[in-house]
């Protein structure tokens, strides 16, 4: 017997079998209760990787990596002393000896055993189901296998038209495979939607080019002589020619381990547990998630009930009172780009209930509310527009304060004012994933001094699950702050009562071309006629620069008044470094550069003694230039064909790229060409914050496009556009805005997105923060820039076209203007004297800043490098 089975020390041992989403939530619940400090915790994980977000599994085909999907921070495991064994599942359980034997042969003694083994895909017992080309859709490994096989497939078929089936169909279509969906029920998503919702969903999906077969089952998988899939026979007598088949016909509880050790299971599977998630057979064994059969006879296949079970089990182990007697089965998903939601008694099974229905087949909309005779909202179905899901789900079980019609009718269709989340009772559950009520959210603001949505998320966990409640969460935070009398000054600064967005609109509408005019006309009382402040001056300068061609202002940042508004970096068109020297960063579009230009950069770096570094943004940065050297360096760079890389400005920095289909055997589009086109189009575009972009030539995502403000990933059918990513101190994965775009469609949407962001963002607000702050979030941005809901897309395109037409390289203009060159000195009264504080010391055959307390004996970079070479 392994030493793991004995000598566990004075601490009792908890063994967790399974490390999926629910298993990870159980570990977090243990840590929250301090149990990881008092117990030894061992986790046996069958998959070769720790817990990942299975709800977002399909996003792998949109470019997200397995690492992106991970839900496990290695620091969390280390900090809490959790022992995780991946690729080593439990094989047997000896309940008498209280031991678990893993596949590796290791034996672990336990005081408490928690089964979180999840479920397995159901594969209909049809002939040919094990043929080469048949897959299930459950794990990352399944997706990797499907992706590889699809490279040589033309047609694919998905067996199952439920949640996962539609996701699998979307994945196949994204891989460039003609796709069929086969569903035995008479409609798609039969569990979540009724006939009306299924019809609306069917029309929308067929419009996307997918072929749907409902009311028929799979009778046989047909194979060729080589054993590979060639087709399917259906129960209605028809056949489908296909190269691969994905089974997504539901799941079954993984309870074999429990059966083998004598635990009671339900007639249709699932480990029987009590209200504390303890198995009814053995008080030392718990079961949670999709392997557990709850007291109401259900096996819950959604993550929110699983999370609640995880918390219940952890609380019980900690001797706290907790129980799980049932859970909300509401779901809100975006399948194939279509909003689908159901909540409460969606099918109207309650006695003597009524329906309120709104349907628009042309728009693919279907909304149904189930209402009791006393006016109680019992449930509903939303297809095509699930904007009101958060409010409606929270109102379920109560009588809404407005008529049911107003809850489903669209704006402008005669409905009264829509109901907002402020009308919800305090016990209304806002976040079903973590069971967070409206009262808890209000308490986070009132009692815990949270003033922003991220702070409330951290305090309550609301909005950190599926994310469907984030919009309502933001509305509640704002309402609670206002109710508490917290007056939030939305003005840009002490000089302006208007927001940056409002000032943008003023400048655009009135064609105001100078900061001083804007301050004198619209500044706060007392600020008019003054000089402004360090907040509004660069912010207004950026607005004027971004609108310069339209409002008749100079687009050159060092022209007249504009020069006085810039910060230290823009003032010298270079980034100030820590020792008073500056960086020189020429633009290298797409990272593509000729040997001749490489030689020029090398010669300049050598001649001026600059430190050189190849960056993660596919540029070559040169550091250590004194201010008076900048024009000399840039004169040579401009002469060689380089231009400013705007590393100093709140503007586009780079558009990174992989080598794409030109060189890479996996590439499906020319990512280098697209990256160069985009970088040259948006170069010099002034914005509220810096902008970064990337273009990946395939879904392997080597250019890391989804960590950028706007990123592009090639597909077999065109380009997918992602927005709002951030790889900085607060990383954020970009969201898919649109997919399978042509070159022209892609550029048009990026034009609109960037100009809408510049128009509405706050000062120094990255696209990632803006996207989470702006009311409606990604859905609103999509409505504006893709669907033109505000009717401003034409104007946004015109603004971008004006920028492109009037672009001028700032350094090329500077070096040809003696008046502008006069600013590049350390001392105005001694222009030929270099700054004595700027000094360097040698390091790794280059230089680094020397930062002594006294600037005595410092040497310029050229002398340092020369001395280093002599040594």
Given pLDDT bands bounded at 50, 70 and 90, which one contains residue 488? low
Given pLDDT bands bounded at 50, 70 and 90, which one contains residue 809? very high
pLDDT at res. 2: 40
Which one of 227, 248, 269 terminates a domain? Answer: 248
Whether 594 maps to a domain, the answer reads no
Q: Are residues 681 and 771 located together in one domain of the fold?
A: yes
Indicate if the pLDDT at residue 169 is higher than 70.
Answer: yes
Measured CA to CA, the distance from residue 272 to residue 114 in angstroms comes to 13
Q: Are residues 333 and 199 located together in one domain of the fold?
A: no
- Three-class DSSP category at 68: helix
Given pLDDT bands bounded at 50, 70 and 90, which one contains residue 563? confident
Instruction: Give me 209's structure tokens.
Output: 């080019």
Q: In 284-353, where do the E strands start and end?
A: 285-287, 292-293, 331-335, 338-344
pLDDT at res. 666: 85
Whether 561 maps to a domain, the answer reads no
Given pLDDT bands bounded at 50, 70 and 90, which one contains residue 766? very high
Candidate from 214-218, 708-712, 845-849 with smallest mean pLDDT = 845-849
Given pLDDT bands bounded at 50, 70 and 90, which one contains residue 429? confident
Helix, strand and coil content of the chain, in percent to the nearest 5, comes to: 35, 20, 45
Indicate if the pLDDT at residue 153 is higher than 90.
Answer: yes
Identify which has the larger pLDDT, 107 or 822. Answer: 107
Given pLDDT bands bounded at 50, 70 and 90, which one contains residue 412? very low
Indicate if the pLDDT at residue 143 is higher than 60.
Answer: yes
Question: Domain range holding 396?
Answer: 328-419
pLDDT at res. 417: 43
Q: Are residues 156 and 49 located together in one domain of the fold?
A: no
Whether 841 maps to a domain, the answer reads no
CA distances from 141 to 135, 144, 501, 644 (A): 11, 5, 46, 45
Indicate if the pLDDT at residue 27 is higher than 50.
Answer: yes
Q: Are residues 223 and 204 located together in one domain of the fold?
A: yes
Q: Are residues 371 and 438 located together in one domain of the fold?
A: no
Longest dimension (CA), the chain: 95
Indicate if the pLDDT at residue 505 is higher than 50.
Answer: yes
pLDDT at res. 869: 43
Span 827-856, average pLDDT: 70
Neighbours of 730 (CB within 10 A): 10
Given pLDDT bands bounded at 50, 70 and 90, which one contains residue 559? confident
pLDDT at res. 1: 37
Indicate if the pLDDT at residue 555 is higher than 90.
Answer: no
Helix (H) / strand (E) element for 611: namely: strand 611-614
Indicate if the pLDDT at residue 677 is higher than 60.
Answer: yes
Given pLDDT bands bounded at 50, 70 and 90, which one contains residue 317? very high
Q: Which residues contact 792 (CB under 8 A, 6 or more apart)?
A: 756, 784
Contact indicator for 248, 164 with CB cutoff of 8 Å: yes
Q: What is the CATH number of the domain that holds 161?
A: 3.50.50.60
Given pLDDT bands bounded at 50, 70 and 90, which one contains residue 621? very high
Per residue in 246-256, pLDDT (tens digit) is 999 889 999 99
Q: Are residues 413 and 428 located together in one domain of the fold?
A: no
Whether 603 maps to a domain, the answer reads no
pLDDT at res. 648: 87
Indicate if the pLDDT at residue 643 is higher than 80.
Answer: yes
Q: Are residues 445 and 509 located together in one domain of the fold?
A: no
- Cite the DSSP H helix spans in 699-792: 743-760, 767-773, 777-785
Residue 21: name the closest of 292, 219, 368, 302 by CA.
Answer: 302
pLDDT at res. 402: 78
Residue 469: name the closest of 341, 363, 356 by CA.
Answer: 341
Q: Are residues 672 and 794 located together in one domain of the fold?
A: yes
Span 855-862, average pLDDT: 49
Q: Are residues 43 and 106 located together in one domain of the fold?
A: yes
| 377: β partners | 371
Which one of 785, 805, 825 terminates a domain? Answer: 805
Whether 65 maps to a domain, the answer reads yes
Indicate if the pLDDT at residue 552 is higher than 80.
Answer: yes
Contact indicator for 389, 377 with CB cutoff of 8 Å: no
Which one of 202, 222, 248 terminates a domain? Answer: 248
Indicate if the pLDDT at residue 414 is higher than 90.
Answer: no
Q: What percent of the chain has pLDDT over 70?
A: 92
Which residue in the block uniquely carries the two structure tokens 């033309």? 154
Contact indicator for 16, 116 with CB cutoff of 8 Å: yes
Identify which has the larger pLDDT, 293 or 615. Answer: 293
Q: What is the CATH number of the domain that holds 434?
A: 1.10.10.1100
What is the secondary structure of 480-502 as a DSSP string? HHHHTT-----SSSSS-SS-HHH
Candidate from 19-28, 261-270, 393-402, 739-748 with smallest mean pLDDT = 393-402
DSSP 8-state class, residue 401? S
Question: Which of 63-77, 171-185, 555-569 reaches the highest mean pLDDT?
Answer: 171-185
98: left (phi over 0), alpha (psi -120 to 50) or beta: left
Span 166-194, average pLDDT: 89
Given pLDDT bands bounded at 50, 70 and 90, which one contains residue 828? low
pLDDT at res. 588: 93
pLDDT at res. 631: 94
Whether 574 maps to a domain, the answer reads no
pLDDT at res. 416: 41
Q: Are residues 721 and 791 located together in one domain of the fold?
A: yes
pTM for the complete prediction?
A: 0.58
Measured CA to CA, the distance from residue 206 to residue 196 in angstroms comes to 16
Q: Which residues contact 870 (CB under 8 A, 6 or more apart)?
A: none
Per residue in 432-467, pLDDT (tens digit) is 777 788 889 888 888 888 877 778 888 888 877 666
Span 212-216, average pLDDT: 94
Indicate if the pLDDT at residue 115 is higher than 90.
Answer: yes
Q: What is the CATH number of the domain that holds 722?
A: 3.30.413.10
pLDDT at res. 736: 92
Q: What is the CATH number of the domain that holds 382?
A: 3.30.390.30
Whether 495 maps to a domain, the answer reads no
Q: What percent of the chain has pLDDT over 90?
A: 51
Indicate if the pLDDT at residue 658 is higher than 50.
Answer: yes
Whether 608 maps to a domain, the answer reads no
Q: Are residues 361 and 301 located together in one domain of the fold?
A: no
Average pLDDT, the chain: 87
Measured CA to CA, the distance from residue 422 to residue 526 in angstroms comes to 38
Number of domains in the chain: 6
Span 291-317, average pLDDT: 92
pLDDT at res. 3: 44
Indicate if the pLDDT at residue 484 is higher than 90.
Answer: no
Q: Are residues 782 and 672 located together in one domain of the fold?
A: yes
């Amino acid at each position: 017997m392994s030493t793991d089975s004995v000598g566990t020390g004075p601490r009792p041992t908890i063994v967790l079998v399974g490390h999926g989403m629910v298993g990870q939530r159980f570990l977090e619940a243990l840590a929250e209760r301090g149990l990881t400090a008092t117990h030894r915790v061992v986790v046996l994980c069958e998959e070769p990787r720790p817990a990942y977000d299975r709800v977002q599994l399909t996003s792998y085909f949109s470019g997200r990596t397995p690492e992106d999907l991970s839900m496990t921070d290695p620091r969390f495991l280390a900090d809490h002393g959790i022992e995780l064994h991946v690729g080593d599942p439990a094989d047997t359980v000896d309940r008498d000896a209280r031991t678990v034997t893993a596949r590796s042969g290791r034996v672990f003694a336990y005081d408490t055993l928690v089964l979180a083994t999840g479920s397995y895909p159901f594969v209909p017992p049809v002939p040919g189901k094990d043929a080469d080309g048949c897959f299930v859709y459950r794990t990352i490994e399944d997706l990797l296998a499907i992706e590889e096989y699809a490279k040589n497939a033309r047609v694919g078929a998905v067996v199952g038209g439920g949640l996962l089936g539609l996701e699998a169909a979307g994945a196949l279509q994204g891989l460039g495979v003609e796709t069929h969906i086969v569903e035995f029920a008479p409609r798609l998503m039969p569990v979540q939607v009724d006939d009306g919702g299924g019809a609306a969903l069917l029309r929308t999906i067929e419009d996307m080019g997918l072929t749907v077969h409902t009311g028929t089952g799979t009778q046989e998988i047909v194979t060729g002589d080589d054993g590979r899939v060639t087709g399917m026979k259906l129960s209605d007598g028809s056949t489908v020619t296909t190269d691969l088949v994905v089974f997504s016909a539901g799941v079954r509880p993984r309870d074999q381990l429990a059966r083998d050790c004598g635990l009671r299971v339900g007639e249709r599977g699932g480990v029987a547990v009590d209200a504390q998630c303890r198995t009814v057979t053995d008080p030392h064994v718990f079961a949670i998630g999709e392997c557990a059969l709850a007291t109401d006879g259900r096996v819950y296949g959604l993550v929110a009930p699983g999370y609640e079970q995880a918390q219940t089990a952890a609380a019980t182990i900690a001797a706290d009172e907790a129980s799980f007697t049932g859970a909300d089965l509401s779901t809100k998903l975006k399948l194939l780009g279509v909003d689908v939601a159901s909540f409460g008694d969606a099918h109207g099974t309650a006695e003597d209930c009524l329906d309120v229905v709104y349907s628009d087949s042309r728009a693919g909309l279907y909304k149904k509310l189930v209402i009791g005779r006393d006016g109680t909202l019992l449930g509903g179905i939303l297809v095509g527009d699930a904007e009101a899901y958060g409010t409606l789900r929270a109102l379920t079980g109560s009588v809404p304060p407005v008529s049911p019609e107003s809850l489903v009718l669209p704006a402008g269709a005669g409905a009264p004012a829509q109901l907002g989340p402020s009308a919800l009772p305090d016990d209304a559950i806002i976040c079903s994933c973590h069971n967070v009520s409206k009262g808890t959210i209000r308490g986070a603001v009132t009692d815990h001094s949270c003033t922003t949505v991220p702070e409330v998320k951290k305090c309550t966990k609301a909005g950190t699950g599926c994310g469907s409640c984030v919009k309502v969460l933001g509305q509640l935070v704002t309402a609670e702050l206002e109710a508490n009398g917290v007056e939030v000054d939305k003005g840009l600064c002490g000089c302006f009562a208007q927001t940056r967005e409002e000032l943008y609109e003023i400048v655009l509408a009135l064609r105001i071309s100078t900061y001083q005019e804007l301050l004198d006309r619209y500044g706060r009382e007392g600020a008019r006629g003054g000089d402004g402040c360090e907040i509004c001056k660069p912010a207004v300068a950026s607005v004027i620069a971004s609108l310069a061609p339209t409002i008749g202002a100079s687009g050159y940042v060092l022209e007249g008044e504009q020069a006085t508004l810039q910060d230290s970096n823009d003032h010298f068109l270079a980034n100030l470094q820590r020792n008073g020297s500056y960086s020189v960063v020429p633009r290298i579009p797409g990272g593509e550069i000729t040997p001749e230009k490489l030689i020029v950069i090398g010669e300049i770096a050598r001649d001026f003694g600059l430190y050189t570094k190849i960056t993660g943004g596919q540029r070559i940065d040169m550091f250590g230039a004194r201010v008076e050297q900048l024009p000399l360096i840039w004169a040579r760079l401009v002469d060689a064909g380089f231009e400013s890389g705007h590393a100093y400005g709140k503007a586009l920095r780079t558009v990174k790229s992989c080598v794409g289909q030109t060189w890479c055997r996996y590439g499906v589009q020319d990512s280098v060409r697209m990256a160069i086109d985009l970088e040259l189009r948006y170069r010099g575009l002034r914005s509220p914050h810096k902008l970064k972009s990337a273009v990946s030539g395939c879904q392997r995502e080597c250019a890391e496009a989804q960590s950028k403000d706007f990123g592009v990933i090639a597909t077999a059918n065109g380009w997918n556009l992602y927005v709002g990513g951030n790889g900085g101190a607060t990383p954020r994965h970009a969201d898919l805005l649109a997919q399978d775009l042509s070159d022209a469609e892609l550029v048009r949407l990026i034009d609109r997105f960037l100009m809408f962001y510049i128009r509405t963002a706050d000062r120094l607000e990255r696209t990632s923060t803006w996207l989470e702050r702006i009311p409606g979030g990604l859905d609103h941005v999509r409505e504006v820039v893709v669907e033109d809901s505000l009717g401003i897309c034409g104007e946004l395109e015109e603004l971008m076209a004006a920028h492109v037409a009037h672009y001028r390289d700032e350094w090329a203009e500077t070096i040809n203007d003696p008046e502008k060159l006069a600013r590049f000195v350390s001392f105005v009264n001694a222009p030929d004297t270099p700054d004595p504080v700027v000094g360097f010391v040698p390091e790794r055959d280059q230089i680094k800043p020397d930062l002594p307390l006294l600037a005595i004996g410092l040497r310029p970079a050229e002398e340092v490098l020369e001395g280093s070479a002599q040594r």
